[in-house]
A = this chain, B = another copy of it.
Amino acid sequence: MSEKFDIGIYADFLIPMNSSKVKEKFFIGIKKNRIATVQPYKPQLKTKCKKFIFGKNMLCMPGLVNGHVHLPMTLFRGLEDDVPFHVWLFERILPLEQKIVDKGFIKAGTDLAALESIRFGVTTVNEMYFYLEETAKSIDKSGLRAIISQTFADFPLPEDKDLGRDKFAVVEKALKKYQDHSRIRVGLGPHAPYSCSDDLLVKIRDFAKLHKLPIHIHVSETKKEVDDSLNQYKKTPPQRLYELGILSDKTICAHCVHLNEEDQKIFTKTKAVVVHNPDSNLKLASGMAPISEYREKGISTMFGTDGTASNNDLSVLGAMDIGTKVQKLSQKKESSFGAYEAVRMATVEGARNLGYSDLGTIEEGMLADMILLDLSFPHLQPVNNIFSHLVYSAQGLEVDTTICDGKILMKNKKVLSLNQNQVFSNAQKWQKKIEKQLRTIKGE
């Protein structure tokens, strides 16, 4: 019994998420980046820990998993809100991206988004944007776990000026650099069925198979997208992707708001993953995916926040709240999609859906990604029902401690892996540039 834990945690409450049981007064011992033990707390355990975290009035649970995000877009938060979608996207955001996105933008935006994710207890993100390597550098420093996807599309990307059009070359370079990284994986991000030709999608499919890479793609986000696809291809987007052989359990499909019966069967059969982004789908008036129906049909599901330009925050707890509540209304059933299911989706199911077999529960041998959530807030009292409090009452800022891959990224609600003041002042500098550029675009 002389073994030393790198980190030891006492928690008043623990939800390991291998069942719906809540354990009280438990100890979690971490060695390197793995969980070494989970057992009832005894005072002598404390003496075996190099670092000890005392979670009085705290809930320990697996770190949250964000299935769909565009981290650097965090610099666009709140920009041109409440204008119609086509104006927002085609007349504001896209022209702005072409003019302003460069390596500096990516660093500033990813740093801010990583800071926010850690603050909200998110430990794994499934990312898709531009300048993969810059994003990876920033993520690496932040301590988060991530799959970072290279965006592919038939239209020019803001990064082309620096990186050229051959995105497979960019991916190959990144694969070499990050092949042995403990937290960073590289993925392929064909933007959407409507922005990628059959030819490009087939190349991506073959490259993904060869290198065993996950694919991250927007699918059936709006009704217009589905109608356009039916007009052009006589197929829905999932039907087209299925016939091109793109869909498998390594394909992470964001949104899937509008899936017909046949589409849903394709998802059940291929085990392709649906990422539910309720804030974004509501705010952009895209529709509401019938997630509880999908789940009953055996479709793999997880939560995402989408980028902050359409949410406007990166809180997975926020997505769980709004996602479950709207589901109850749209399914006309108060009991559809309960709190425990939502927590499963945001932790163990999310991790498994992203291909991590050793992540998402607090058990011996698992990767040490976990959070402590402070229950000593009025809105979490009395502690009647942990799962309900987490989903319907908690917001994100209650997270006190964030641990990823055995490293403490936040303690006492202070992020340790990034310099908050520096990140904020850099973001503010970019905000001024963005504002100026936006005025030019709008002809003001």
Residues of A in contact with B (beta carbons under 8 Å apart): 75-79, 81-85, 88, 112, 115-116, 119-120, 279, 281-288, 308, 311-315, 318, 321-322, 325-326, 328-329, 331-335, 338-339, 376-379, 381-385, 388-389, 392-393, 395-398, 420, 423-424, 427-428, 430-431, 434-435
Contacts and interface: CB of A to CB of B under 8 A. Distances in A.
B382 A333 contact: no
Contacts of A379: 77, 116, 119-120, 308, 312-315, 396
Total copies of the chain: 2
A284 B334 contact: yes
Nearest to A421: B376
A428 B381 contact: yes
A321 B280 CA distance: 12
A424 B382 CA distance: 7
B78 A385 contact: yes
A343 to B, nearest CB: 12
A395 B377 CA distance: 13
Contacts of A430: 382
B85 A334 contact: yes
Contacts of A279: 325
Contacts of A285: 328-329, 331-334
A39 B338 CA distance: 50
A214 B288 CA distance: 38
Given A282-B329, A287-B329, A312 B378 contact: no
A393 B315 CA distance: 9
Given A328-B283, A334-B84, A335-B84, A388 B112 contact: no
A329 B384 contact: no
Contacts of A331: 285
B328 A392 contact: no
Nearest to A286: B329
Contact of A313 (B82, B84, B288, B393): B393
A290 to B, nearest CB: 13
A141 B123 CA distance: 42
Given A329-B285, A379-B315, A81 B322 contact: no
Contacts of A116: 378-379
